[in-house]
Chains A and B, each alone.
Chain A
Amino acid sequence: MQDFEAIARPGYRHRHLLGIEGLTPAEIGYLLDLAGHYAVQDPRAHKHSPLLSGHTVINLFFETSTRTRTSFELAAKRLSADVINMSVAWSSIKKGETLIDTAMTLNAMHPDALIVRHPDSGAVKLLSEKVNCSVINAGDGSHEHPTQALLDALTIRRRKGKLAGLTVAICGDIMHSRVARSNLHLLTTMGARVRVIAPPTLMPSGIERLGVEAYMDMRAGLRDVDIVMMLRLQTERMQGSYVPSIREYFRFYGLDRDKLALAKPDALIMHPGPMNRGVEIDSEVADDIDRSLIQDQVEMGVAVRMACLEALTASLRAPTEVP
């Protein structure tokens, strides 16, 4: 990541938000504090902040995603930005319009921030090198999804009061999950212990070297954890048979009451959504209002994205601010 304009951005010194890896605890803490500030605002009372009035934010999605796109759109609109949604069908990319062509087109529109989702790891970084505005990674391939990790962390921090010292189990399709990667970077950076649980076919090689403990036995992995973070089984990213059947997957890696009982009595459940009920999580557990943080995660999403937009566009506002 480029770290110029450091002076203009106290607390977050990068031009883009491309991933969690490489961010310092202070930078992550700053973003979480800022998001926490938005999270406690009553959205009905504070419908809009004028912070990004006159600024343009483009949602550029090369993969369909209603939830993330809507969350970013809402965040930008609450800050009074002009929001443009662009969906680029994957088929047209294959036909020849390259990412660089897209970047050139976008540059001509002079956006202030670009929110990008792309099915290829590294694509958002490539785009960020070709545009003049700030870029937020809204998920690139199997690489990172930083705002999801931030909203997960904010959700945990609000309920547990801390991140350091907690033990978090991330379970499911670790290999294809950008959510898992961003979360393990964030949580280990902030002092949490992270376990990853997956069948060997969905466990990427060398994962232990990222500072986590790897388990293929879910029961062993869940023992005494504070947080159980389930992942969606990403059938669309899978070519070939990674697991023999959904039925078998649920039997060994699906979260149900029985397996959850191995975690701490006050352990909380998370899921980035959308959930495959009966595949990676049992409805009974997912809908347990005492244990499940799934709805909180969705709510924190808007606050986190407002915080990221504010942090990244700080220098844009600086010249107009009254001393």
Chain B
Amino acid sequence: MATRSESGPTVYLNARLLDPRSGLDVQGALFADKGVIQDLGPRLFNDGVPEGVEVVDCAGACLAPGLVDMRVQLGEPGHEHKETIQTASKAAAAGGITSMVALPNTDPVVDDVAGIEFIARRAREEKLVKVYGYGAVTRRLEGRELVEIGLLSEYGALGFTDGLQAVADAQVMRRALSYSRTVDTVILQHPQEPSLAGGVMNSGELATRLGLAGNHPLNEVIMIERDLRLVEMTGGRYHVANVTCAESVEVVRRAKARGLPVTASTAPHYMILNETAVGDYRTFAKVTPPLRSEADREAVAAGVADGTIDALASDHTPHDQDAKRLPFSLAEPGIVGLETLLPLSLALVHNGRMSLLELLRRLTEGPAEILKGRADLTPGLPCDIVIFDPERPATIDPDRFRSKSKNSPFEAHMVQGVVLRSVVDGRSIFALDSGRRAA
């Protein structure tokens, strides 16, 4: 299958149409023209396809809204040796992601209008996936002065976060949550109480054996609990990124039951790996917050399945070899994830924890709603779709990643699920070569 650079009238035939928003799950076809979904359904073009319409035969594969990845580090500006907007966009396209949102912890930090505009301009130049940015909550991520939340929102910032740093000062967080209501934006927190979170891996027996400083799950829970009090006080919209432990899931669950405007997300590695992945000082499994116990891993997966955790994000964090080939405590935390988000997440479906439609909700509509966007198959919306085979087996091979960095602990990990095609505004931006492995 070749990729097209223009978006003429195209029909995607013989697809299993999946739309979490409407609950649609039928065999059928989708018709797009001028970059927009025109129609879809089981009976579409049953009597033949009109002339001049390009036909993409999906051969029974799944067709769903393109994935929305709400937590990505681009590397650009400032760390282009690790990743660029171009390489990240190619990786995202190969992963079925049609929209991604970049953390502001670049160099310089995205804490002004120029930073947001830069990302938008570079994304336009690449013409691949849609790239958006968050603004920092505080200038230079220093945790003191609020950025111009209103102006940055006007220029396209989808939310505000200090990236890998928690907004530690309670007064600053209170004001951020309070002020964010003026433009109805969301404040995303990296849930780690910094005065407690000095460790480099989950605390417990393994950290003790390895002689590594431990990071206790309570560091996360304490920060979330504090913030929820502030949410209650201010009414601001609050999002917990990278939920990693059982108690956090429970705290979020209770807050939602009380009707607080709180949402949560996690990354596939917190559902698939536990702390033992860092045994033998494996720096590729060093992430922040750290991988937790098996019970925590299980609880996070359950939280995703029951909807307490609204969204799955790749938490794509590219690092070159020099940043990882260091003693464990000195190595940078993070895993690349754009190309493995869907195949790894599909494990939840294959092991019977949740339906395919529900999983897709966490990957599309869930994150889109948090960011006040849309990601569904409603006619009239941009044709941003992914076509994938959820059954096809593959082996993850970081050497084949389009990402500039290859820091993944999932090398040789067996998955089931391969992205066949990604389409943005009706343009095919990725199509799997026949016989080539996707992951």
Q: Is the CB of A121 within 8 A of B204?
A: no
**Cβ B208 vs Cβ A210 within 8 A:** yes
Q: How many of B's residues come within 8 Å of A, CB to CB?
A: 23
Q: How far is the CA of A100 from the CA of B328 in the complex (A)?
A: 13
Q: Which residues of A contact B326 (CB under 8 A)?
A: 98-99, 126
Interface residue B439 (Cβ < 8 Å from any Cβ of A): no
B214 touches A121 (CB 8 A): no
Residues of A within 8 A of B211 (CB): 121-122, 140-144, 178, 181
Please state if B329 and A141 are interface contacts (CB–CB under 8 Å). Answer: yes
Instruction: Please report the C-alpha to C-alpha distance between residue A125 and residue B281 in the assembled complex, in whole angstroms.
Output: 9
Q: Which of B345-401 contact A (CB under 8 A)?
A: none
Residues of B within 8 A of A181 (CB): 208-209, 211
Expressed in whole angstroms, the minimum distance between the Cβ of B326 and any Cβ of chain A is 6
Evaluate contact between A122 and B209: CB separation under 8 angstroms.
Answer: no
A125 B205 Cβ-Cβ under 8 A: no
Query: Which stretch of A152-160, A201-209, A222-230, A304-312 is in the interface?
Result: A201-209
Q: Say whether, besides A98-B322, A98-B325, A126-B281, A121 and B210 are in contact (CB < 8 Å).
A: yes
Instruction: Report if A239-B327 is in contact (Cβ < 8 Å); known contacts: A141-B211, A210-B208.
Output: no
Complex Cα–Cα for A181 and B206 (A): 12
Please name 29 pairs of A and B residues whose Cβ atoms are closer than 8 Å in the assembled complex, sorted by A: A21-B209, A98-B322, A98-B326, A120-B327, A121-B211, A121-B212, A121-B281, A121-B327, A121-B328, A121-B329, A122-B281, A122-B327, A125-B280, A125-B281, A126-B327, A141-B327, A142-B211, A143-B212, A204-B208, A204-B214, A205-B205, A205-B207, A205-B208, A205-B216, A206-B203, A206-B204, A206-B208, A207-B205, A210-B209
Cα(A141)–Cα(B216), bound, Å: 20
Chain A residues within CB distance 8 Å of chain B? 21, 98-100, 118, 120-123, 125-126, 140-144, 178, 181, 204-207, 209-210, 239
Interface of B is mostly: loop
Tell me if B198 is interfacial: C-beta within 8 Å of chain A.
yes
Residues of B within 8 A of A123 (CB): 327
B151 at the interface (CB under 8 A from A): no
Measured CA separation A98–B211 after assembly (Å):
21
Contacts of A99 in B (CB 8 A): 326-327
Chain B residues with CB under 8 Å of A207's CB are: 205, 208
Contacts of A98 in B (CB 8 A): 322, 325-326
Complex CA gap A99/B326 in Å reads: 7
B329 — which chain A residues lie within 8 A by C-beta?
120-122, 141
Query: How far, in angstroms, from A140 to B328 measured CA to CA in the complex?
Result: 12
Task: Find A120's partner among B204, B214, B216, B330 (CB 8 Å cutoff).
Answer: B330
Q: Which B residues are CB-close (under 8 A) to A205? A: 203-205, 207-208, 214, 216
Q: Do B207 and A204 touch (CB < 8 A)?
A: yes
